[in-house]
Chains A and B, each alone.
Chain A
Amino acid sequence: MPEKKSKMLKATQGLKNAMGRHYLAIEQAYRDGKPTAWATSGCPVELLYAMDVQPMLPENSATISAAQKYSKNFIELAEQEGFSYDMCSYFKTNVGAVIENVDVYKGGIRKPTFMLSSDVICDTHSHWFQVQAERFGGVPHYIIDVPHVVSNVNKRQLGYFKKYVEEQMWELLEFIETHTGNKIDMEKAKEVASNSYELSEVWRDIYELRKNVPSPISTKDTFGGLFPLFTMPGLRSPINLYKRMYREAKGRVDAGQGALENEEFRLMFEGIPFWYQLKYFAMLERFNAIIVYEPYTFAFSKFFSNPFEEISKERLLKDPIECMSSLMLSFWYIFDLETRVKWFKQTVKDWKIDGVILHNNVSCRPNTTTFYDLKRRLGEEANIPCLIIDSDQNDPRKFNEVQVTNQIESFVELLRRRKKT
C-alpha cells in the first residue's frame, strides 16, 4: 500500500522555537542563579512561574530522549542500578539521563533548587522524585498528595478532598518561599493564571475544529503540540503559537480541506504515544484513517476537562489557589471508570469517531487498569468498536511493530465493514 502523508500545520513548525525558548530559559536561569524546580505533570506549574521559579518537566525531557533514540540506553542504565524491567520507562529514562549527565537535547536535566511532585496521576511520580532527590544528595521535595477519586465518590467527599489539596497549596507557597526566598505576588499569580486559562482556551478551540469532517489537523500537530501546555502554562508566547495553529486550521476548515486526503476513518487514541516511534502513527494514514481526538493531549487543557465543576476565568482570577486545587483533583487521562465511560461516549459522538484505540502502555498502570471494562462498556452501551494495543511510551523493547500493525489492519478492516453495513 502506498505511503500517504497528512499535512502538518505550518504553524506547528513554530513549536521547535517555542520549546527551544523554554530550554534557553532554563539555561539562563542557571546562569542567573534563578531558582529552578522539577515538576511532574498534573502539578500547578503556574505557581512556579508566578513565584519566579523556572520549571523543568522530566517527563518532557524523557520524551526527547525517546524521540532522539536514547531512551533505550538510559533505561538499561537504570536497570543496571537495580530498577526493574517492569517499572515506568519515563522514570528509568530520567535516571539514565541523569547518570550520563547528558544535555537537554538528549533529554538531560540538571539538579534543581527543589522538586515538586504530586500523586494525582500516579504514586510513581512521587516515588520517582524521591529517588532522584536522594541521588542529587537531598534536594528539597514537596509532594502534593491528592486523594484518589473513584467511581462512587460523593460530593461531600469531593469537598474535603479539595480542602486537603488547598491546604497543601498554601503550604507549598511557604515551602517555595523558604527554599528560594521568593514570595507569592497575587497580582502576578492572577496574570499567570489568566495566561494559562487563555492557553487552554485556544487549545480547546483547536480541538473543536477537529470535530469537522475532514479534520483539519492530525496527531502531527497535537502530540508534540501539547508540550507548551505542559511546560509553559502561564506564559504569553505559547498562546501566540496556538493562535497561529488555530487560524491555519480554521482556514483549512473554511476551505473544506483536511489534514489527510480522503479521510475515511476517524479514530480516538487513548494513552501516551510511543515517543520513540512517532512516525508509526503515519501508518494509519495508509488506511485513510486519522486520529481526531486524544484524551491525553486534551487533558492538559485542564480548565475545560474538569468533570466536577466549571471553572470560569472570573472565578479563577478571583481565587486562583482554590480553583487550582479543584483542578488538581482529577485529570482526563486517569478519570475513574464511570466518568471515563461517560466522557468517551460523548466524545465519540461529538467528534464523529468510528473507533477507539486504547494503548495498553505497560509503563502507566493508572491509565490502563480499567481498559478492558472501558472497552466492553463502550461496545455494549454505545456500539463503539475499540482496539487495545500493548506497548510502552518510552521503551522501544516493548514495542512489537508487526503485532501492532496486524492488529490495526484488522481493526480498520472491521471499521470498513461496519461502514458498508
Chain B
Amino acid sequence: MLKIAYFDPDVVTPEEIFMAAGFTPMRLLGDPTIEHDKVNEHVPPTHCVWAKNILEQALRGLDPEIEGVLASHGCDCSNREFDIWIEAVKLDFLFFLNVPLKRDKIALKFFLDDLKELIIQLEDKFNVKIETEKIQNAIKLTNQIRKLLKEISEYRNKMIIKGSEFHELVKMCQIIDKNDALSQLKIKLKELKDKTPFTDKKLKRILLTGSVIDDTEFFKFLEDKGFQIVIDDLCIGSRYFWNTIEEEKDPIEAIAEYHLSKPLYSTKMPSYDRFEFLKFLAEKYEVDGIINIAMKFCEPMLYDHPYMNKKFKDLEIPYLFIEMLYNREQYKQLSTRFEAFAEMI
C-alpha cells in the first residue's frame, strides 16, 4: 500500500485522515548510524541533530512507496527546515501542519481549518474522496490500537515486558498498516498474560521523557545500566496512546480536539502543565527517578529543564537531564553519568 510519511517532532499527525484517503501513515524515524553528509550542505551545524538526521535520509531518497510527507510544527527548526524539504526533497506532496501553540477555542478553530486544508490538498493531489465514514472507521481502528498499547504498557510497570520491547511495539504501530499492527498487538497481549515478572529485583524504575527518542538501542543501553522504563512521556511512547479520540462526534472535530487536549509535549508550553503530567506519572508509577533527554540543539526542551530540575528536587524525586548527540557513540560517552545516576537512586 502507498504511504504518506510524517516528519513529526511531536505526535500530532492526523493519521486517520491519511488512512481514509487510502494511504498507510508512516512516521519517519531517524537513523543514528548514518553520517550527515548531504544535510550539512543545507543546514548549519548548530541545528537540531534529530531533525537533520531525518532530512539527511530524505535527501538520500525515501522509501519509493512514500507518496508524500507531512511535517508538523514542533519548533523553530522543523518549521524553517520545511522550506529545505520543498527545495531539495523531490516529492509531489508536501504539507506543513501548523499545530497551534495554544489550546483554547480560537486555536481549536484554527487547527480545524488547517486539517480541512490538508484534506482539500490530499483530495486534489491524489484525486480521492476522503469520506466522513472512512475517517470514522479509521478512528475506531486507531482507538483500538491505543487501548491495546495502553494495556500492554502496564506490563512494563509489572516488570513483564522490557521498556525496549515496548518501544519497538509503539514504533511498529507508527510505521506499518494499522490492521497488521492491531493483529500483532493482540498476539503480544495474549503472550504477556502468560508471562511472569523479571527475576532481577534491583532494576531501577524510571520515567523517561524528553525530545523524540526513536532509537530502541538507547532503551537497551539504559536497561544494561540497570534501568527499567516503566512509563514515559514520549511521542514513540505514551503520548501516542494515552487518550483516545471521541467516536461519536464529527470526526475532524474529534481529531482536532484529541490532539489539542493530550498531555502537553516537551516542545510546547507552559512548563508547569508539562510538569503536572510528569508528576502524575511519577507518582502513579512510583518511579525511582526521572531521566529527561534533550537532543542536542532541541531548543524548546532546554527552556523546561531548570524548572523541572527545581520542581523534582522539591518533590525529592531524583532527576537526570542529559543533552545528547544523535549517534550511538554518545551512549558510551555518557555511560558514567547514567551509571552514577543508577548508583544514586
A84-128: contact bitstring with B at CB < 8 Å (1 yes, 0 no)? 101110000000000000000000000000000001001110111
B87 to chain A, nearest CB (A): 5
Q: Which residues of A contact B296 (CB under 8 A)?
A: 86
Does A248 reach chain B (CB closer than 8 Å)? Answer: no
B220 at the interface (CB under 8 A from A): no
* Selected contact of A87 from candidates B109, B113, B299, CB within 8 Å: B299
Question: With A336-B83, A369-B47 given, is the CB distance from A122 to B309 under 8 Å?
Answer: no
Residues in chain A near residue B77, CB distance under 8 A: 365, 369
Is B44 part of the binding interface, using a Cβ–Cβ cutoff of 8 Å? yes
Which one of B15-23, B98-106, B139-147, B241-249 contacts A? B98-106
Q: Is the CB of B83 within 8 A of A370?
A: yes
Which residues of chain A have C-beta atoms less than 8 A from B297's C-beta? 86, 365
B107 CB contacts on chain A under 8 angstroms: 145, 164
**Number of B interface residues in the complex (CB < 8 A):** 51
Docked CA distance A147–B300 (Å): 17
0/1 interface trace, chain A 134-166, chain B, CB 8 Å (1 if under): 100000000101011011110011001101100
Q: Which residues of B contact A177 (CB under 8 A)?
A: none
Q: Is B224 an interface residue (CB 8 A)?
A: no
B306 engages A81 (CB within 8 Å): yes
Interface size band for A: 35 or more
Asked, given contacts A84-B302, A124-B76, whether A150 binds B82 with beta carbons under 8 Å apart, the answer is yes
Report whether A131 and B307 are in contact in the complex, using a CB–CB cutoff of 8 Å: yes
Complex Cα–Cα for A128 and B304 (A): 10
Stretch from B194-202, B250-258, B268-276 contacting the other chain? B268-276
Query: CA separation between A370 and B306, bound complex, in Å?
Result: 30
Q: How far is the CA of A371 from the CA of B107 in the complex (A)?
A: 31
Q: How far is the CA of A86 from the CA of B84 in the complex (A)?
A: 23
In the assembled complex, the CB of A390 is this many whole angstroms from the nearest CB of chain B, namely 8
B residues within 8 A CB of A334? Answer: 80
B residues near A337, Cβ cutoff 8 Å: 83-84, 86-87
Asked whether B79 lies within 8 Å of A373 as measured between CB atoms, the reply is no
CA distance A84 to B321 in the complex (A): 11
How far is it, in angstroms, between the C-alpha of A138 and the C-alpha of B314 when the chains are bound?
A: 18
- Of the residues B117, B302, B323, contact of A157 by C-beta under 8 Å: B117
CB-defined contacts of B96 to chain A, threshold 8 Å: 148, 150, 152-153
- In the assembled complex, the CB of B303 is this many whole angstroms from the nearest CB of chain A, namely 4
What is the distance, in angstroms, from A90's C-beta to the closest C-beta of chain B? Answer: 13
Nearest CB of B to A214, in Å: 34
Does B80 contact A365, Cβ atoms closer than 8 Å?
A: yes
| Cα distance A138–B297 in the bound complex, in angstroms | 28
**Residue ID in chain A nearest B103 by CB atoms:** A145
Q: A128-B303, A366-B76 are in contact. Are A372 and B269 (CB under 8 A)?
A: no
Q: A152 contacts B94, CB within 8 Å? A: yes
Give the CA-CA distance A218 to B117 in the complex, in Å.
Answer: 46
Contact of A143 among B46, B102, B271 (CB under 8 A): B102
Complex: how many Å from CA A337 to CA B42? 12
Chain A residues near B120: list those with CB within 8 A.
156
The answer to whether B88 has its CB under 8 Å from any CB of chain A is: yes
Once the chains are docked, how many angstroms separate the CA of A153 from the CA of B113? 14
Partner of A145, one of B100, B109, B305, B307: B100
Contact A82 B309 (CB under 8 A): yes
B79 near A150 (CB under 8 angstroms)? yes
Instruction: Contact check, B100 vs A86: say whether CB atoms are below 8 A apart.
Output: no
Mark A338-354 against chain B: 1 for CB-CB distance below 8 A, else 0.
10000000000000000
Q: Which of A304-358 contact B (CB under 8 A)?
A: 334, 336-338
Distance (Å) between the CB of B332 and the closest chain A CB? Answer: 22
- For this complex, 17 residue pairs linking A to B, each with C-beta atoms less than 8 Å apart, are A84-B294, A84-B302, A86-B297, A130-B270, A134-B270, A134-B271, A145-B100, A151-B83, A152-B96, A156-B120, A161-B110, A163-B110, A365-B299, A366-B79, A369-B43, A372-B44, A373-B87
The 10 closest A-B pairs by CB, nearest first: A82-B306, A369-B80, A337-B83, A164-B110, A127-B303, A160-B113, A147-B98, A145-B101, A84-B302, A366-B76
A-B contact sample (7 more), CB < 8 A, given A83-B305, A127-B300: A83-B302, A134-B272, A160-B110, A163-B110, A336-B83, A337-B83, A372-B41
Residues of A within 8 A of B (CB): 81-84, 86-88, 119, 122-124, 126-128, 130-131, 134, 143, 145, 147-148, 150-153, 156-157, 160-161, 163-164, 167-168, 171, 334, 336-338, 360, 362, 365-366, 368-373, 390
